[in-house]
């Protein structure tokens, strides 16, 4: 009985400590109504009851009582030590080093290392300076498509690695295909059929459509001619030109700024803003390496907040990326508290973090963060709603017809997915008309919808089938 009671006592104590760790700074009243709070209460009750049972058992033993408990306690501690040492060794051996840190069972073992992130980012910037890159730093936009660039489809390799993690496969299984040079940009930094061509040097078409947005608008993972933008141009005929200003990784905020600076001068008849759910999360980021952990995005990005009912830009112009990674600590970065992807607890080192086993447990059952007022869900909805309204207003004031298009991503279409359609919620709440491409994508057989994470040529064609009539009406 003593050994069993000791194991139960230790398990209950561990659950109490873990549940209370998870509480963080959350008020006790709200914590106790959460499942973790209920676990805390039950474990605490078991802990007290087990202690009472052990005390009662010990009192019933003839003297010397302490010696009666010594043997079971020693056996318990030895077995516990062997079990912990075995677990620690196994986790260390089976952990995989990744750009995000050591990973075990698809879990990044926190805390993160700022020194590692800074070193990796400096190496990425040095490589880009030496070899050139398709995406370049921009003091207003964070990053943008460089002029006269060409790039292999390294993004497809990156996307396959991400998809592999989603499906529980190793990244090496997803990156074996050779990468083709399929991304080309014009002299203006617009996706183009040939590197270095000039759209400004071509005759002015009767109608012009401009596209702004993220990688789904840019057409990541497919060739230029297979993007929905280029297929739309062919479908509308020779009197229409479609210019693709989409940029990989953009949030709604960067799309608006790209429109203001790079698109207005082209005086398009129609401007299409492509949106996915994740674009709204990106709007709440300040640094690309936090917004896209594990990817080579060592750039800062613009950040808007609400000042009353108005949008306010926090960080213009943006700091040079090289200066960021000389900071002593991540907390020294400007406006870091306004980055919704920044959780101070993920970067704080404690003496017990020398143990991989403890890091695994605490990473699986993370402490609840206490978000600041600018990074709450309500702030996310308000900022993104104001940005999309600003886009619509600016387009109309400049003689263009704005169209907002919602694209469902891979995770939203996975069987059993319950991801909240935050973009659609915001658009409906702000009474912003939009076109939902979900049913258009569903018409494509599931196996043909995506290359890896982005739309295939067939799905891009289906998008055009749903957009063509609306685009035609909007140009009249």
pLDDT at position 177: 44
Q: Do the domain assignments include residue 464?
A: yes
Q: 116 and 70, same structural domain?
A: no
Query: Taking 80 as the threshold, does the pLDDT of residue 271 lie above it?
Result: yes
- Bond preceding residue 64 cis, omega within 30 of 0: yes
Instruction: Give the Cα separation of 124 and 463 in Å (integer).
Output: 35
Q: Do the domain assignments include residue 88?
A: yes
Instruction: Give the Cα separation of 24 and 12 in Å (integer).
Output: 19
**Better-scored residue on pLDDT, 103 or 372:** 103
Query: Taking 60 as the threshold, does the pLDDT of residue 173 lie above it?
Result: no
Q: What is the mean pLDDT of residues 132-144?
A: 95
- Of 371, 366, 345, the C-alpha closest to 18 is 366
Residue 115 in tokens: 């020194």
Q: 290 and 141, same structural domain?
A: yes
Instruction: Give the Cα separation of 463 and 40 in Å (integer).
Output: 50
Q: 60 and 117, same structural domain?
A: no
pLDDT digits (tens, 9 = 90+) for 10-42: 898 988 888 888 887 778 777 888 888 888 889
Instruction: Give the Cα separation of 16 and 23 in Å (integer).
Output: 11
Secondary structure letter of residue 147 according to DSSP? T
Q: Which residue in this structure is represented by tokens 């009406």?
A: 473
pLDDT at position 402: 97
Query: Taking 50 as the threshold, does the pLDDT of residue 171 lie above it?
Result: no
68, 94, 120 - which closes a domain? 94
Give the bridge partners for 243, in sequence order. 210
Q: Which domain holds residue 201?
A: 107-474
72, 94, 116 - which closes a domain? 94
**CB count in 10 Å sphere of residue 330:** 22
pLDDT digits (tens, 9 = 90+) for 289-348: 999 987 889 999 999 999 998 999 999 999 999 999 999 999 999 999 999 999 998 999
Q: Which of 146-150, 177-181, 418-422, 427-431 has the lowest mean pLDDT?
A: 177-181
Beta strands in 147-303 (DSSP E): 150-152, 181-184, 207-212, 240-244, 270-275
Q: 385 and 256, same structural domain?
A: yes
With cut-offs at 50, 70 and 90, classify the pLDDT of residue 111: very high
Q: 113 and 82, same structural domain?
A: no
Query: Taking 90 as the threshold, does the pLDDT of residue 169 lie above it?
Result: no
- Of 280, 263, 281, the C-alpha closest to 272 is 263
Q: 202 and 135, same structural domain?
A: yes
Q: 443 and 371, same structural domain?
A: yes
CATH number of the domain enclosing 264 = 3.40.50.1110
Q: Do the domain assignments include residue 101?
A: no
How many Å separate Cα 201 from the centre of its chain?
38
Q: Which of 45-49, 259-263, 393-397, 417-421 has the lowest mean pLDDT?
A: 417-421
Q: What is the mean pLDDT of residues 355-361?
A: 93
Q: 183 and 213, same structural domain?
A: yes
Query: Taking 90 as the threshold, does the pLDDT of residue 274 lie above it?
Result: yes
3-state DSSP call for residue 317? coil
Provide the total of helices (H) and of strands (E) in the chain, helices listed first: 18, 14
Instruction: Give the Cα separation of 241 and 406 in Å (integer).
Output: 22
pLDDT digits (tens, 9 = 90+) for 42-86: 989 998 999 898 888 888 878 777 777 787 888 888 988 999 999
Secondary structure letter of residue 269 according to DSSP? S
Residues with Cβ < 8 Å from 226, sequence gap 6 or more?
219, 456, 457, 460
311 φ, ψ to 5°? -75, 140
Q: 349 and 236, same structural domain?
A: yes
- Of 387, 384, 399, 403, the C-alpha closest to 229 is 403
Q: Do the domain assignments include residue 100?
A: no
Q: What is the mean pLDDT of residues 182-200?
A: 94
Q: Do the domain assignments include residue 345?
A: yes
Instruction: Give the Cα separation of 54 and 245 in Å (integer).
Output: 71
Residues with Cβ < 8 Å from 312, sequence gap 6 or more?
304, 305, 306
42, 67, 94 - which closes a domain? 94
Q: 142 and 72, same structural domain?
A: no
pLDDT at position 436: 95
Q: Do the domain assignments include residue 102?
A: no
Rounded percentage of the chain residues whose pLDDT exceeds 90: 64
Q: Do the domain assignments include residue 326?
A: yes
Q: 73 and 146, same structural domain?
A: no
- Chain mean pLDDT for the chain: 89
**CB count in 10 Å sphere of residue 99:** 15
| Domain count along the chain | 2
pLDDT at position 175: 42
Instruction: Give the Cα separation of 342 and 332 in Å (integer).
Output: 13
Q: What is the mean pLDDT of residues 279-295?
A: 93
Residues with Cβ < 8 Å from 276, sequence gap 6 or more?
214, 216, 406, 407, 408, 409, 423
Q: 264 and 346, same structural domain?
A: yes
Q: Do the domain assignments include residue 16?
A: yes
Give the bridge partners for 184, in sequence order. 150
pLDDT digits (tens, 9 = 90+) for 416-434: 666 667 898 999 988 999 9
pLDDT at position 418: 60
Are 294 and 99 within 8 A, CB to CB? yes
């Amino acid at each position: 009985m003593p050994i069993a009671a000791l194991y139960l006592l230790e398990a209950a104590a561990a659950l109490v400590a873990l549940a209370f760790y998870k509480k963080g700074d959350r008020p006790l009243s709200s914590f106790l109504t959460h499942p973790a709070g209920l676990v805390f209460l039950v474990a605490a009750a078991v802990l007290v009851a087990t202690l009472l049972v052990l005390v009662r058992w010990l009192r019933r033993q003839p003297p010397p009582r302490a010696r009666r408990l010594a043997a079971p306690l020693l056996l318990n501690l030895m077995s516990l030590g062997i079990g912990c040492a075995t677990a620690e060794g196994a986790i260390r051996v089976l952990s995989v080093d990744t750009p995000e840190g050591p990973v075990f069972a698809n879990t990044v073992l926190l805390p993160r290392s700022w020194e590692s992130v800074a070193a990796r980012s400096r190496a990425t910037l040095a490589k880009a300076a030496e070899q050139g890159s398709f995406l370049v730093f921009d003091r207003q936009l964070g990053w943008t498509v460089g002029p006269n660039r060409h790039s292999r489809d390294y993004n497809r390799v990156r996307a396959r690695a991400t998809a592999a993690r989603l499906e529980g496969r190793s990244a090496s299984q997803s990156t074996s295909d050779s990468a083709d040079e399929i991304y080309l940009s014009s002299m203006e930094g617009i996706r183009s059929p040939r590197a270095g061509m000039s759209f400004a040097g071509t005759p002015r078409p009767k109608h012009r459509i401009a596209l702004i947005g993220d990688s789904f608008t840019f057409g990541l993972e497919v060739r230029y001619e297979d993007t929905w933008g280029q297929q739309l141009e062919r479908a509308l005929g020779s009197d229409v030109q479609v210019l693709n200003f989409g940029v990989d990784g953009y949030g709604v905020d960067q799309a608006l700024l790209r429109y203001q600076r790079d698109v207005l001068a082209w005086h398009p008849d129609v401007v299409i803003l492509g949106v996915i759910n994740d674009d709204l999360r990106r709007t709440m980021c300040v640094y690309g390496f936090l917004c896209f952990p594990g990817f080579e995005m060592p750039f800062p990005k613009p950040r808007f907040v609400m000042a009353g009912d108005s949008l306010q830009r926090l960080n213009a112009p943006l700091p040079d990326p090289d200066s960021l990674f000389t900071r002593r600590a991540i907390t020294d970065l400007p406006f870091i508290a306004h980055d919704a992807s920044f959780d101070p607890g993920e970067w704080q080192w404690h003496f017990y973090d020398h143990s991989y086993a403890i890091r695994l447990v605490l990473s699986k059952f993370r402490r609840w963060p206490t978000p600041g007022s600018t990074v709450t869900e309500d702030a996310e909805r308000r900022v993104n709603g104001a940005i999309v309204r600003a886009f619509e207003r600016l387009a109309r004031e400049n003689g263009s017809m704005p169209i907002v298009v919602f694209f469902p991503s891979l995770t939203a279409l996975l069987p059993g997915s319950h991801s909240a359609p935050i973009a659609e919620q915001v658009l409906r709440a702000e009474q912003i008309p939009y076109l939902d491409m979900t049913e258009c994508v569903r018409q494509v057989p599931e196996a043909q919808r995506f290359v890896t994470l982005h739309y295939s040529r067939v799905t891009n064609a289906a998008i055009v089938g749903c957009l063509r009539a609306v685009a035609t009406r909007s140009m009249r």
